[in-house]
């Protein structure tokens, strides 16, 4: 009896995950890194570093005009006010969405990304298809994420690099007057911080 595996049904994400697991097993076997260190780093990026921090920063900017202004002038220093800083976040710029301008972030060379605010980049952010298409057809890419904007809105694509990392300050949705920062932060997603999605209104959310 022969067994046939249809590799065409394995997603790119699954293949990457399998390679990561194999590399992890080799490093542990050779004693280069321990499983406790891996568990610790996984916990840090799951609970302490990630888009939930970016969401809190956005919520603060929505309710505090002075903080918002500091964020737009120097995102790196403003984030430090909320205890958010670290590797891959030394030089950051927050891009403000408006009624007439929508910002979108890509890294066309590799996958430069503001880790302290957004956590680790999603796999699709690193794919050549995203990097190439975002520069060529940003509206088409956003449409695949479910975001369609009127032609009157200008789309600005920003190319992050190792020296300078961008992220988006999305517009506050209507119907959130009087909301607390904690409530507002719940509406903000990683994708809205990259710019491939907007922030859903409370009714839609």
Alpha helices (runs of H) in the chain, residue ranges in sequence order: 12-29, 35-43, 51-63, 65-73, 75-81, 115-118, 123-126, 128-136, 138-144, 181-185, 190-194
8 A C-beta contact, residue 57 and residue 84? yes
Active site residue 201: no
* Residue 79 known to bind ligand: no
* Residue 111 known to bind ligand: yes
* Residue 107 known to bind ligand: yes
Catalytic residue among 42, 43, 110, 161: 110
Active site residue 107: yes
Please spell the DSSP secondary structure of 3-18, one letter per residue: ----GGGS-HHHHHHH
8 A C-beta contact, residue 184 and residue 63? yes
Active site residue 79: no
Q: How many beta carbons lie within 10 A of that of residue 9, not counting itself?
A: 7
Catalytic residue among 79, 112, 160, 192: 112
Q: How many CA atoms lie within 13 A of 18 on its CB side?
A: 7
Angle between helices 35-43 and 12-29 (to 10 degrees): 140
Q: Would you put residue 187 in left (φ > 0), alpha (ψ -120 to 50) or beta?
A: alpha
| Residue 7 vs residues 2, 19, 111, 122: alpha-carbon distances, Å | 16, 15, 26, 23
Beta-ladder partners of 103:
156
The catalytic residues are: 107, 110-112
């Amino acid at each position: 009896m022969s067994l046939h595996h249809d590799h065409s049904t394995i997603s790119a994400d699954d293949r990457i995950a399998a390679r990561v697991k194999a590399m992890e097993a080799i490093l542990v076997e050779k004693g280069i890194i321990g499983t406790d260190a891996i568990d610790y780093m996984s916990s840090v990026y799951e609970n302490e570093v990630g888009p939930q921090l970016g969401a809190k920063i956005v919520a603060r900017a929505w309710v505090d005009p002075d903080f918002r202004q500091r964020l737009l002038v120097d995102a790196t220093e403003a984030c430090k006010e909320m205890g958010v800083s670290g590797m891959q976040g030394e030089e950051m710029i927050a891009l403000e969405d408006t009624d007439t301008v929508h910002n979108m972030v890509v890294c066309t060379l590799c996958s430069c990304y503001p880790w302290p605010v957004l956590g680790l980049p999603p796999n699709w952010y690193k794919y050549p298809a995203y990097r190439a298409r975002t520069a060529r057809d940003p509206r088409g890419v956003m449409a695949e994420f479910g975001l369609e904007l009127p032609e009157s809105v200008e789309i600005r694509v920003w190319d992050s690099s190792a020296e300078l990392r961008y992220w988006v300050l999305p517009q506050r949705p209507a119907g959130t007057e009087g909301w607390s920062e904690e409530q507002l932060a719940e509406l903000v997603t990683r994708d809205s911080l990259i710019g491939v999605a907007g922030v859903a209104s409370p009714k839609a959310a």
